Amino acid sequence: MKMNWLELFPEPIKSLLEHLPFSILDRLEEIRIREGRPLEINAAGEHHFLTMSGKLTFRVEESYKPGREDTHRLLDRISNHSLYTMEEELRKGFITIPGGHRIGLAGRTVLSGGKVEHLRDISGFNLRIAREIRGAADAILPHLIDKKEKRMKHTLILSPPQHGKTTLIRDMARQISSGSYADSTVKWSGLKVGIIDERSEIAGSMRGVPSFDVGPRTDVMDGCPKAEGMMMMIRSMSPEVLLVDEIGRPEDVEAITEALHAGISVIATAHGSSVDELSQRPAMASLMANQMFEMYVILNRKAGKPTYRILDRQQRAIQLSLPYQKGVDAYG
């Protein structure tokens, strides 16, 4: 596994992380640095603090607490010594680094006209390690194919945060675009895929070029508001499948309705743990009431293992809680 993100951390944090046992290092999901508070890591859904000697602990008083010097160095490095080039990123609260990983930031906001203009006194960092798992969608994808029409079904993927939504749709994009579909009975080639990647999470684009393999026929609209991006894609890039992460605002719903009527298959994700819960949200209610989506995929995690359920338009279960076939552990 490439760990170029490790280079970002200043000493002594870097050597603490380097000396973690491989079983943890390999499954790291998050590294959290908060000034004056314990250094925290999250791996396989569990959190730990780190002691000065690199041991895992739950006790706050034993843990290593990064100081001002550490956070200052870290910020200097992730911004390439040039915080002024990151104004847009600071406004959004995260920075994407090479490899598609993201660093979330917390600090004091500077407002202008009631809107967040800038972030200063940054003291909280959350490195979310992006994982590319080829085959993450193998178990789910075959259920979402409309074999008669040779298209993908409109699908909504529901899951709480940290359950592998993004990893899943990244692999879906790759497979649909390259025409593998994880189903040997499907004989047609790949489809044109458009990804609206508002938070640069799916493709992890650096200067407009995806860091991850999202397939040969995939276009990425990076850093674009979802609703606007969907309309731009529909107008200019003629996608056959649109992938969108974390829909939820009224304008997203409008754009999705537009795409569905334009004959484009939409695969979207949303935060939530059940279809009922989603119907309660005012913005989403109309989408649900019109039964716009043909398929619902619900991700969950049982005893650290990710599981999924697939429901059809009438919310009848097609496939009951099953663990993923591949990449069982490493969802981040």
Partner 1 sequence: MPMVKLLGMMIIVLSGTLAGFNKARQFERRPQQIRELILVMQRLETEISYGFTPLPEALNKMGSQMQEPLKSFFISAATDMNSPQGLTAQESIEQALSVHWKRTSMKAAEREVLHQLSFTLGTSDRQDQIKHIALAAQQLKHEELAAREELDKYGRLSKNLGLLVGVLIVILIF
The burial of 216, by beta-carbon neighbours within 10 Å (0-12 exposed, 13-18 middle, 19 or more buried), is given as exposed
Contact 129, 28 (CB under 8 A): yes
C-beta closer to partner 1: residue 86 or 266: 86
* Beta carbons within 8 Å of 191's beta carbon, 6+ residues apart: 151, 152, 176, 177, 179, 217, 240, 241
Binding site for partner 1 (CB under 8 A): 7, 10, 72-73, 75-77, 79-85, 87, 90, 118, 120
C-beta closer to partner 1: residue 91 or 192: 91
Q: How far is the CB of 90 from partner 1 (least distance, A)?
A: 8
Q: How far is the CB of 219 from partner 1 (least distance, A)?
A: 25
C-beta closer to partner 1: residue 22 or 84: 84
Q: How far is the CB of 73 from partner 1 (least distance, A)?
A: 6
Looking up tokens 């550490």 gives 70
Q: How far is the CB of 23 from partner 1 (least distance, A)?
A: 27
Q: How far is the CB of 222 from partner 1 (least distance, A)?
A: 17
C-beta closer to partner 1: residue 118 or 199: 118
C-beta closer to partner 1: residue 53 or 80: 80
